[in-house]
Amino acid sequence: MQIVVCEIVGLSYVTIQCILADSLNMRRISASFVPRLLSDDQKALHVSVCRELKQQASNGPNFISNIITGDGTWVYGYDPETKQQSLQWKSPNSPQPKKACQVHSNVKSMLIVFFDIQGIVHKEFVPPGQTVNGKFYCEVLKRLREGIGTNVQTSGRITIGFSIMTMRPLTHHLLFDSS
């Protein structure tokens, strides 16, 4: 592409670069990666949910205290050496002892945590070998919904009610159409 432009205008590649950068103040940038490109239906769902959230926020002063959000993260197991355990005797001429940085162990688990404005509402580890797909995530959301009413710490905090919203269309369909 670059050579074609050079041949068409009859200028060198360096000259074209200088014109673009210096005269036209253009920069070469890479496209940023996004987790997925959304379909028109998914974009419409996002807009609809955002409008609903905006409406609820303007209608209720306590709206923010009813939001429950969640995230999943990998939790790695470590067997750290304490400072006391790493102490060594050394002479004045011997080199300073070195300690390697911690590396992730092969013991890891996925942790899914849901929290509100005051703290953690629900947490659970994903069983080893379990794939976190729409169906599994739906089951987690159902346990969240069931657990909020029975949990002594959260039942007093959430008095007006709550709603579970997810931006994953498959999960949304599984959660609300099959319950």
Helix (H, G, I), strand (E, B) or coil at 122: strand
pLDDT for the residue numbered 103: 60
pLDDT for the residue numbered 39: 85
Rg of the chain on CA atoms, in Å: 27
Q: What is the DSSP letter of 71?
A: E
**Residue 125 pLDDT > 90, yes or no?**
yes
Tokens of 120: 């953690």
Length of the chain: 179
Phi-psi region of 111 (alpha: psi -120 to 50; beta: other; left: phi over 0): beta
DSSP H/E element including 74: strand 69-76
pLDDT for the residue numbered 174: 46
State pLDDT tens for residues 139-173.
998 888 887 766 545 444 444 445 455 544 444 44
State pLDDT tens for residues 72-115.
888 887 666 666 666 666 667 777 766 666 665 667 888 999 88
Give dist(CA 89, CA 34) in Å, integer. Answer: 52
Contact 108, 73 (CB under 8 A): no
pLDDT for the residue numbered 152: 45
State pLDDT tens for residues 34-50.
667 788 888 898 899 88
Contact 162, 122 (CB under 8 A): no
pLDDT for the residue numbered 108: 82
Question: Which amino acid is located at 159 in the chain?
Answer: T
Comparing 15-19, 25-29, 55-59, the range with the smallest average pLDDT is: 25-29
Q: What is the DSSP letter of 24?
A: S
